[in-house]
């Protein structure tokens, strides 16, 4: 049994009533729950609203039906609303296993009247068992709660305003071996190992500072930067670890490694993908590699003495949030960040997130990726920038080619009546990919380039323009090929798009004021939450509503609507208007 977060202190006693999910009005038809305790499988915050606040119940006994068949004895962590509505107060909620919940449900249910003949049933039903629950909670809440961050440093030899920040969150519940004690342990082990290697002279002390943060997930960073906004200017990148120790054969888990969002183009993707790609290929087996004499099963094995010999199942994926790197990538913070997070994970936030399903080998592989990325960036010298720039340039060309491939595929899959609209979206995708590739190449300038190198970077960027123009011409020929020789359409703005082109938003107020006002926007107008966040992140005082819509649409198109949902011009305009109304952004005059 577990107590839900934000339950309040008190002692209660009442009859237990089964209300099904307990989150809909229909669950309470014909049931009087006033002064009673409800058994429910729906989210306890919603049950608290329906049963306690609306109908006078005393509290909630919750069981997790979503994982019940696969994990009948798992006890889920759960929470009530941290900020109840005005004049409302949380009572309590306890979490029990699915098996225990179903047993109580069966005992409460009416059943056929028994008869003396074995195996037979009489006419009519008898009421279910009356069960009385007694609950006692002792909880303590700080009157003025504060966030905390535990911090460690490896001081660089020369540069102190380009810090590499490693993060993991430490606030989780009792059972949190993978989420996120694994990340916390890896950050600590990376710090310990690097300090020892430096002390023993096996690696040089890096030029730049490396900071190690153990935090309250997401909320600590939001408060930190709200109070110390200037600190973000001293940070180069964020490398986050959140669930990095899973035994992958338990639940078919994959180690996902994110790229930065489109609003934060960065060389970090190139560095991370190079190192992670080596670990991925070096810890997977390939038949032909063995025939070539390459060591088998793994060519660059990273194995822990106490861990498994499983392969490293990892995938580099488009940006997602839900962990600490989110805050660093905010437009008003401006620090590119990535996370290593395994998914799916049916043990997360439950009593099953314990040491039995951890793997020291996977911990070590993920720690290597993060440590190697941190050391490379912390040690990068001006003479190394040219090699990095060429790798970033190659990745930019690849992204352009992938955009062309995506646009062509979509063109071939639509009905003829929709072909013109899809062509125009493909043309926009190529243009946005070109701009993103150029901005990513520009990001290497942070390491310092002289006038000559700067001019050469501009020449490399110009090659993106040439490549994009060639690909656009080829996309037009593809359109003509599919359309029997008809030329592709030219872009035309409707009245809505013309209006959007004339509105240029910019962030209003301080970092703290911006975050405070933005969180009051509750309606995302049907946008995927990540694309709503990206819409906010593209607000820079330069892009118009239309510009923001076009780049967000391209980001969705590249990843796929299955990943980021649909986006329309109206949704983006309505969301930005809501941000203006909330005072988070304002129109540039």
The tens digit of pLDDT for each residue in 362-391 reads 999 999 999 999 999 999 999 999 999 999
Residues 262 and 133 in one domain: no
Residues 131 and 247 in one domain: no
State the alpha helices, DSSP H only, in 77-166.
98-108
The residue to which tokens 């279910």 are assigned:
128
Q: What is the pLDDT of residues 454-466, one digit of tens each?
A: 899 999 999 999 9
CATH code for position 482 = 1.10.132
State the alpha helices, DSSP H only, in 232-283.
268-282
| Boundary-marking domain end, from 346, 380, 414 | 380
Q: Identify the CA nearest to 165 among candidates 363, 322, 392, 325.
A: 325
Tell me the CA end-to-end span of the chain in Å, nearest whole number: 58
> Is the residue at 442 inside a domain?
yes
Residues 376 and 394 in one domain: no
Residues 572 and 466 in one domain: no
The residue to which tokens 């986050």 are assigned:
240
Residues 242 and 153 in one domain: yes
| Boundary-marking domain end, from 380, 398, 418 | 380
Residues 332 and 207 in one domain: yes
Q: What is the pLDDT of residues 291-343, one digit of tens each?
A: 999 999 999 999 999 999 999 999 999 999 999 999 999 999 999 999 999 99
> Which of 139-148, 257-266, 439-448 is least confident?
139-148
Tell me which residue range forms the domain holding 454. Answer: 383-490
Q: How many CB atoms lie within 10 A of CB 526?
A: 14
Residue 62 and residue 341: Cα distance in Å, rounded?
Answer: 28
Residue 364 and residue 146: Cα distance in Å, rounded?
Answer: 33
Angle ∠(436,390,289) on CA atoms, nearest 5 = 105
Across residues 247-267, what is the average pLDDT?
96
Report how many domains make up the chain: 4
Residue 343 and residue 327: Cα distance in Å, rounded?
Answer: 21
> Is the residue at 184 inside a domain?
yes
> Is the residue at 527 inside a domain?
yes
Residues 501 and 463 in one domain: no
Task: Grade residue 122 by pLDDT with cuts at 50, 70 and 90.
Answer: low
Q: What is the pLDDT of residue 115?
A: 72
Q: Identify the CA nearest to 361 among candidates 181, 175, 186.
A: 186
Task: Grade residue 119 by pLDDT with cuts at 50, 70 and 90.
Answer: low
Residues 77 and 210 in one domain: no
Q: What is the pLDDT of residue 313?
A: 96
> Which of 178-192, 487-501, 533-547 is least confident?
487-501
Residue 39 and residue 58: Cα distance in Å, rounded?
Answer: 11
Residues 520 and 582 in one domain: yes
User: 336, 234 in Cβ contact below 8 A?
Assistant: no
Residues 210 and 161 in one domain: yes
Residue 188 and residue 398: Cα distance in Å, rounded?
Answer: 36
CATH code for position 319 = 3.40.630.10
Residues 166 and 273 in one domain: yes
Across residues 47-56, what is the average pLDDT?
96
> Is the residue at 482 inside a domain?
yes
Residue 221 and residue 584: Cα distance in Å, rounded?
Answer: 19
Hey, which residues does 16 pair with through a beta bridge? 37
User: 71, 37 in Cβ contact below 8 A?
Assistant: no
Residue 51 and residue 439: Cα distance in Å, rounded?
Answer: 53
> Is the residue at 120 inside a domain?
no
Q: What is the pLDDT of residue 120?
A: 64
Q: What is the pLDDT of residues 19-45, one digit of tens each?
A: 999 999 999 999 999 999 999 999 999
> Is the residue at 80 inside a domain?
yes
> Is the residue at 142 inside a domain?
no
> Is the residue at 144 inside a domain?
no
Exposure of 233 by Cβ count < 10 A (0-12 exposed, 13-18 middle, 19+ buried)?
Answer: exposed
Exposure of 298 by Cβ count < 10 A (0-12 exposed, 13-18 middle, 19+ buried)?
Answer: buried
Q: What is the pLDDT of residue 310?
A: 96
Q: What is the pTM of this model?
A: 0.93
| Boundary-marking domain end, from 380, 410, 437 | 380
Residues 233 and 356 in one domain: yes
Q: What is the pLDDT of residue 145?
A: 80
């Amino acid at each position: 049994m577990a107590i839900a977060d934000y339950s309040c202190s008190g002692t209660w006693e009442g009859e237990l009533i089964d209300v099904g999910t307990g989150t809909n009005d229909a669950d309470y038809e014909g049931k009087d729950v006033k002064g009673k305790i409800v058994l429910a499988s729906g989210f306890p915050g919603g049950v608290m609203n329906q049963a306690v606040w609306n109908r006078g119940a005393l509290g909630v006994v919750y069981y997790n039906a979503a994982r019940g068949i696969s994990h009948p004895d798992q006890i889920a962590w759960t929470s009530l609303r941290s900020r109840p509505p005005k004049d409302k107060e949380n009572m309590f909620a306890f979490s029990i296993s699915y098996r225990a919940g179903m047993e109580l449900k069966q005992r409460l249910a009416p059943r056929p009247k028994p008869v003396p003949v074995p195996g037979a049933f009489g006419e009519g039903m008898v009421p279910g068992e009356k069960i009385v629950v007694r609950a006692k909670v002792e909880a303590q809440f700080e009157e003025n709660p504060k966030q905390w961050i535990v911090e460690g440093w490896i001081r660089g030899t020369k540069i102190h305003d380009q810090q590499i920040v490693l993060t993991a969150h430490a606030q989780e519940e009792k059972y949190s071996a993978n989420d996120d004690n694994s990340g916390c342990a890896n950050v600590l082990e990376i710090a310990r190992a690097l300090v020892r290697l430096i002390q023993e002279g096996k690696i040089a002390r890096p030029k730049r500072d490396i900071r190690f943060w153990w935090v309250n997930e997401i909320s600590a960073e939001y408060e930190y930067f709200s109070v110390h906004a200037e600190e973000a200017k001293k940070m180069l990148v964020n490398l986050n670890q959140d669930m990095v120790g899973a035994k992958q054969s338990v639940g078919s888990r994959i180690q996902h490694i994110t790229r930065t969002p489109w609003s934060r183009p960065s060389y970090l993707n190139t560095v991370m993908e190079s190192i992670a790609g080596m670990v991925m290929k070096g810890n997977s087996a390939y038949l032909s590699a063995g025939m070539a004499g390459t060591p088998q099963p793994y060519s660059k094995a990273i194995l822990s003495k106490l861990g498994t010999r499983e392969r490293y199942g990892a995938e580099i994926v488009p940006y997602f949030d839900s962990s600490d790197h989110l805050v660093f990538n905010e437009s008003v913070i401006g620090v590119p960040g990535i996370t290593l997070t395994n998914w799916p994970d049916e043990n997360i936030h439950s009593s099953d997130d314990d040491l039995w399903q951890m793997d020291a080998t996977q911990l070590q592989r993920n720690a290597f990726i993060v440590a190697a990325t941190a050391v490379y960036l912390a040690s990068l010298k001006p003479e190394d920038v040219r090699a990095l720039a060429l790798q970033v340039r190659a990745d930019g060309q690849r992204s352009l080619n992938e955009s062309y491939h995506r646009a062509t595929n979509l063109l071939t899959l639509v009905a003829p009546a929709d072909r013109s609209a899809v062509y125009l979206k493909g043309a926009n995708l190529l243009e946005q990919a070109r701009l993103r590739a150029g901005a990513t190449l520009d990001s290497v300038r942070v390491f310092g380039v002289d006038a000559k190198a700067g001019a050469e970077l501009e020449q490399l960027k110009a090659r993106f323009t040439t490549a994009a123009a060639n690909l656009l011409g080829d996309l037009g020929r593809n359109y003509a090929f599919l359309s029997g020789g008809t030329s592709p359409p030219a872009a035309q703005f409707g009245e809505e798009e013309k209006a959007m082109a004339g509105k240029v938003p910019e962030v209003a107020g301080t970092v703290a004021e911006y975050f405070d006002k933005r969180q009051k926007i509750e309606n995302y107008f049907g946008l995927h939450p990540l694309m709503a966040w990206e819409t906010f992140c593209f607000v820079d005082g330069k892009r118009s509503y239309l510009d923001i819509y076009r780049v967000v649409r391209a980001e969705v198109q590249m990843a796929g609507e299955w990943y980021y949902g649909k986006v329309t011009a109206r949704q983006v305009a309505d969301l930005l208007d809501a941000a203006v109304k909330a005072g988070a952004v304002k129109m540039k005059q």
